[in-house]
Structure 1
Amino acid sequence: MKTHASIFAVIALLFSLSAFSGHAFAEQPQQAVESAATININTASANELAQLDGIGETKALAIVADRQANGPFESTADLARVRGIGEATVAKNSERITTN
């Protein structure tokens, strides 16, 4: 009788683990989609800009301030005109940013 109880416990454990692992895999594609969204650097809010690689809250606010002071960016490369953002950061985000 103990053997049947042990087998039942193991089966119940396996089913419960498979339910949790399936849930984790179901959320991963959604997260990938959200992180890969294209961001228009001329219209994005500071919160949206902060999602870019190497751009935190401070740099995002600097992008918005530069945009307000100097007008829209004509190209994504112009993002490097913002203090603290270099060509490497622009290149790292080249697939995720746009100006139109």
Structure 2
Amino acid sequence: MKTFKYGAISLVLAALVGLSSQSWAKQPQIVGKSPSKQVAPVNEINALDLNQANLKQLSQLPGIGKTRAMAIIEYREQHGPFTSKEQLMKIPGIGKKTYAKIEPEVRIK
């Protein structure tokens, strides 16, 4: 009777281990950076519209803090809507290097 009892327990444990290993096998494998550090590719759909963006949104662009974001908004208010991304380089503090960082992340709608 003891042999049957331990044998049945062993079978149940083996079945549980087998089921749990199958569920692990079905989960997608992530290669490279952890998901929290992955950055979504930027395209025209999710790029920031320079003519609609507010201070908070602009200040989150790479190399643009609150001061440069305010300068972008001031430029927009003084000169009207942006007609090209390149106009950003007319704003003090935004040169070729900063522009290269933010250019893929902005758009003109």
Q: TM-score, normalised by structure 2?
A: 0.59
Which is richer in helix?
Answer: 1
Structure 1: runs of 5 or more not aligned:
1-24
SS of residue matched to 2:103: coil
Query: Within 2, Cα distance between the matches of 1:79 and 1:51?
Result: 15
Match of residue 59, structure 1, among 53, 61, 68: 68
Correspondences of 1:62-73 after superposition (within 5 Å): 62-73=71-82
Indicate yes or no: 2:94 matched with 1:76.
no
Indicate yes or no: 2:73 matched with 1:98.
no
Across the aligned residues of Structure 1 and Structure 2, the Cα RMSD in angstroms comes to 2.2
Structure 1 residues 26 and 91: alpha-carbon distance in aligned structure 2, compared to 1, 3 A threshold: closer
Match of residue 49, structure 2, among 9, 26, 40: 40
Q: Which amino acid aligns with 1:60?
A: A
1:28 shift after superposition: 4.2
Q: Which amino acid aligns with 2:85?
A: T
1:13-57 Cα shifts (integer Å, max 9, x gaps)? xxxxxxxxxxxx55445xx34x95411111100110011111000
Larger Rg: 2
Query: Within 2, Cα distance between the matches of 1:46 and 1:72?
Result: 15
Query: Within 2, Cα distance between the matches of 1:88 and 1:26?
Result: 28
Identity of aligned residues (%): 33
Instruction: Figure out how many residues of one structure are paired with residues of the other and give that number.
Output: 75
1:87 shift after superposition: 2.0
